[in-house]
Structure 1
């Protein structure tokens, strides 16, 4: 009997095809729901696990804001980073419709060349590795921030706010 290879997700195929060093971490998406919970589920510090939020600047393309799990998004700073006056969060249903991905699986790596600007919080530059969704709920990919920046053509800006 021939065993089938498990299906590789788009993000993993992309990283392997470009020979980008990475690892994956899995978690139960029904138990670990919020970004800080996901960090706990994959046993990494929340400042090293990055969430992706879909935003709508008042002009230009929809934007993916990528920031640490334990931070809030500074919408004014994000707007400045993309040359807009204002930005707002996309409602969840709109974010899922626009990306074709479910909450917890939205990833800038899965949306390369899909018409989104990407803005990465500047804190990523201080880290050797960052984790983010692999484009599917329950899986995170860990890679070097510079590789993420190069792949997504992300802009770097101070978009995280801590309360």
Structure 2
């Protein structure tokens, strides 16, 4: 059986951006559990969150799996007074993707504004969702920024120890 190909993978291939796919049990929901399953440090595995503005289109925040989004920092980075996390239902309705599988790469055709936590600068490569639960992609940070137009900003609260 051939491994599943997602729209995120197709987008990378179309632009000749190298990546490696990592498959894991889609029942895993914690970023830390996913990092353990694919054998990578949790600080190098990034999750994608949907953030709602008071008005206008939603934003995507890509942050390390073991950290929490700081809404004040996110608002400042986006030039907004206030932002809030989208509910699971909102995130899934807006993206057409399941929480745990939301990917800026899969949403490229929609042109969502993307923000990448500054912690990404500490790595040459990172791991992000492939647009479906159970698949993550390893790619160069520079390539992720180039393809998504992500803006780097300090988006998270202080690091919490990995569990």
Tell me whether the two structures share a fold, i.e. TM-score over 0.5: yes
Q: For residue 23 of structure 1, what is the aligned residue in structure 2?
A: 20
Cα distance, 1:58 vs structure 2: 2.1
Aligned equivalents of 2:110, 2:51: Cα separation in 1: 15
Q: Deviations over 1:80-129 (max 9, x none)?
A: 11110111000000100000000111000000131421100011011011
Q: For residue 158 of structure 1, what is the aligned residue in structure 2?
A: 154
Q: Kindly report which structure 2 residues correspond to 1:58-137, keeping only aligned pairs within 5 A, or say none.
A: 58-137=54-133
Structure 1, gaps ≥5 residues long: none
* Number of equivalences: 159
Q: For residue 42 of structure 2, what is the aligned residue in structure 1?
A: 46
Provide the secondary structure at the position in 2 that maps to 1:108.
coil
Counterpart contact for 1:132–1:142, Cα < 8 Å: yes
Aligned equivalents of 2:148, 2:12: Cα separation in 1: 12
Q: Show structure 1 runs of 4+ deviating over 4 A.
A: 4-7
Cα distance, 1:62 vs structure 2: 0.4
Higher Rg of the two aligned structures:
1
TM-score (norm 2): 0.92
TM-score (norm 1): 0.92
Structure 2, gaps ≥5 residues long: none
Aligned-pair RMSD on alpha carbons? 1.4
